């Protein structure tokens, strides 16, 4: 559904994510991608962008992201309903 958002909305999402402590990792697959937008989204959220010219690189990218994600220390806040 994200592809339906305008460019301004797409750029607001990573900042909101960062404010919530959510990191976004992006992957450009193929040659016809907006790599600069993907890089900006990742940068703005504190994540990382990966470029995969074809699907043969995806496994190693997923493994790198997995290793980064599993190294995070998660802190869960208790949510209480008013």
**Residue 30 is assigned to a structural domain of this protein:** yes
> What pTM was estimated for this model as a whole?
0.73
Q: Distance (Å, rounded) from C-alpha 80 to C-alpha 65?
A: 32
**Residue 16 is assigned to a structural domain of this protein:** yes
pLDDT of res. 74: 59
**Residue 82 is assigned to a structural domain of this protein:** no
**Residue 77 is assigned to a structural domain of this protein:** no
**Which residue range forms the structural domain that includes residue 10?**
2-69
Q: Is residue 1 predicted with pLDDT exceeding 50?
A: no
**Residue 80 is assigned to a structural domain of this protein:** no
**Residue 46 is assigned to a structural domain of this protein:** yes
Give pLDDT tens digits for 25-68.
999 999 999 999 899 999 999 999 999 999 999 999 999 999 88
DSSP code at position 33: S
**Residue 81 is assigned to a structural domain of this protein:** no
Residue among 36, 63, 47, 49 nearest 14 (CA): 47
Q: Which residues does 55 contact at the CB level (< 8 Å), separation at least 6? A: 29
The number of distinct structural domains making up the chain is 1
């Amino acid at each position: 559904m994200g592809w339906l958002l305008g460019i301004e909305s797409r750029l607001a999402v990573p900042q909101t994510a960062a404010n919530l402590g959510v990191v976004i990792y992006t992957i450009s697959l193929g040659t016809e991608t907006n790599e600069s937008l993907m890089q900006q989204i990742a940068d703005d959220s504190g994540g990382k962008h990966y470029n995969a010219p074809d699907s043969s690189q995806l496994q190693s990218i997923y493994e790198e992201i997995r290793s980064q994600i599993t190294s995070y220390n998660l802190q869960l806040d208790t949510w209480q309903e008013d």
